[in-house]
């Protein structure tokens, strides 16, 4: 008699999978304060690209500044490429029309422009710690106008443990 074996029930959901990939990507960031990761996914749940915040190619992590405060030219803000923009620029396959973006921190206004222009239609974010800043307020205003849907990732509370 055939033994019927049930499929696993505790597999991770699509949202846990893609936000997990975004967060893992963020762990590559050298930013001492905020490590941000992004994962772009097609409408049919295929991973298209990933990114994390860091300095552009040729701009040394050891030479460019990581400071948050000081003279503008001596802070990271004028130099860092955000995770979302890196994910968009890392994509080698053509159009991102209709894609979804998973990101660990709500996109800023500059990334919102790139998200809209790339044709990304959905943003799933985890943290929104800068929600009261003009940058994030402007970002939401533009995404609302452009029909980009965004919603907060619902943490499952599941601990996803990977030993490598």
Ligand X SMILES: Nc1ccn([C@H]2C[C@H](O)[C@@H](COP(=O)(O)O)O2)c(=O)n1
Interface stretch with Zn ion, choices 5-13, 63-71, 75-83, 156-164 (CB under 5 A): 75-83
Which residues of this protein are in contact with ligand X, per CB under 6 A? Answer: 31, 33-34, 36, 53, 68, 76, 80, 82-84, 105-108, 111
Please state, in angstroms and as integers, the Cα–Cα distance from residue 124 to each residue in 21, 34, 87, 103, 108, following that order: 13, 18, 14, 6, 14
Element (H, E) at 103: strand 100-105
Residues with Cβ within 8 Å of residue 9, at least 6 apart in sequence: none
Scan for tokens 């849907």, then name that residue: 149
CB nearer to ligand X: give 10 or 136: 136
Q: Is 76 in the site for Zn ion (CB under 5 A)?
A: no
3-state secondary structure of 101: strand
Site size for Zn ion, by CB under 5 A? 3
- For this structure, is 131 an active site residue? no
Q: Whole-number minimum distance, CB 13 to ligand X, in Å?
A: 23
Q: Whole-number minimum distance, CB 3 to ligand X, in Å?
A: 50
């Amino acid at each position: 008699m055939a033994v019927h074996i049930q499929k696993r029930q505790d597999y991770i959901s699509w949202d846990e999978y893609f936000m997990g990939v975004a967060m893992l990507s963020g762990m590559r960031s050298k930013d001492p304060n905020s490590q941000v990761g992004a994962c772009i996914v097609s409408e049919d749940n295929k991973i298209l690209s990933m990114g994390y915040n860091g300095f552009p190619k040729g701009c040394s992590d050891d030479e460019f500044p990581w400071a948050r405060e000081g003279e503008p030219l001596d802070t990271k803000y004028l130099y860092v490429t955000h995770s979302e923009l890196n994910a968009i620029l890392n994509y080698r396959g053509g159009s991102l029309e209709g894609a979804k973006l998973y990101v660990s921190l709500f996109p800023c206004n500059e990334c919102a422009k790139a998200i809209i222009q790339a044709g990304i239609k959905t943003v799933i974010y985890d943290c929104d710690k800068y929600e009261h800043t003009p940058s994030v307020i402007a970002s939401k205003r533009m995404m609302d106008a452009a029909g980009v849907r965004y919603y907060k990732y619902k943490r499952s509370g599941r601990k996803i443990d990977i030993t490598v």
